[in-house]
Amino acid sequence: MRHVVTGEAVALELSSVSVITRGASLLLDLVVYWTAMALALVALGLTGTTLGVSEAAAAALTLTTVVGFLVITPVAVETLSRGRSVGKLAFGIRVVRDDGGGVRFRHCLIRGLTGFAEIYLTLGLLPLLTGVFTERGKRLGDVMAGTYAIRVRHLSVRPMMLPVPPSMAAWAQIADIGRLPDDLAAGAARLLSTVQGGGRKVDMAAVTDVSDRLAADIVTYVAPAPPTTSSVEFLSAVMAERRNREYQRLRLKQDRAESLHRRLHTLPYT
């Protein structure tokens, strides 16, 4: 998880994409663009043969087609989709600016022009090396344009429905539970979902080991300190109380909206 500070001094948690995922996305894009270009060249060849186009005109059309499909089309697609492409869409990633904002035409143009040289002239070796040795897995085009790729599609986590353990109920009512980082909250939710639905197939030794690590990180976000209990019960209490408080907050917000709606519709219209 990468922390990005925007121009308004707001810290965002954006998960950057691994080099392997970016490479797979790029490979899918290349397959799409090269297939489309090959079909276009075949169509141009058949048309040129039929119309009797000169060799110079055929060479110019071929060069235009190659540049169009390998440079202009990728730039246009990324610009219009705000950092997406066929490969990025398939793998759930998007290109954004270093401050987390959406990319514009100039970013896509720099990426497209640089990408043509670094991908084709070095056979993909340069993007691989820069992706390994840069902090966010950037290729040279990202470094020059000030962009990087983030993951916008995450694995769904089934809601955790475990209640607050009775031994932790009194503590949970008075506990000050701070905002947990997304990765910690998701990890605890996955663990508790496994405990909830696993039955006897769950490896409790592994569950205890993971829950101990998560509890050691989450305990720093709560006050006062919890009573002595197992790490699984502590995680259950924290996550269930967070769920209950969020439900109460949303329910109160809905009640206020419904009350305002009733008041507005009972006022006389003039």
Q: 186 or 71: which carries more pLDDT confidence? A: 71
Q: What is the pTM of this model?
A: 0.58
Region label for 6, one of left (φ > 0), alpha (ψ between -120 and 50) or beta (otherwise): beta
Residue written as tokens 């950092």? 83
Long-range Cβ pairs for the range 131-140 (8 Å, 24+): 131/19, 131/22, 131/23, 132/19, 136/2, 136/16, 137/16, 137/17, 137/18, 137/19, 137/22, 139/22, 139/115, 140/114
Q: What is the pLDDT of residues 197-211, one digit of tens each?
A: 665 666 778 878 888
Q: Measured between alpha carbons, how far is residue 87 from residues 6, 82, 265 in Å?
A: 27, 14, 50
Give the confidence band of 6 by pLDDT, cuts at 50, 70, 90.
very low
pLDDT for 4: 47
Q: 154 or 108: which carries more pLDDT confidence? A: 108
Domain coordinates in residue numbering, the chain: 2-151, 166-266
Q: Which two tokens stand for residue 213?
A: 């690590």
Q: What is the pLDDT of residues 210-226, one digit of tens each?
A: 889 998 998 898 888 88
DSSP state of 122: T
Q: What is the pLDDT of residues 238-250, one digit of tens each?
A: 888 888 888 888 8
pLDDT for 121: 87
CA distance 192 to 218: 14
Q: What is the pLDDT of residues 57-102, one digit of tens each?
A: 888 889 999 999 999 999 999 999 999 999 999 998 999 998 878 8
CA distance 28 to 35: 11
CB atoms within 10 A of CB 139: 28
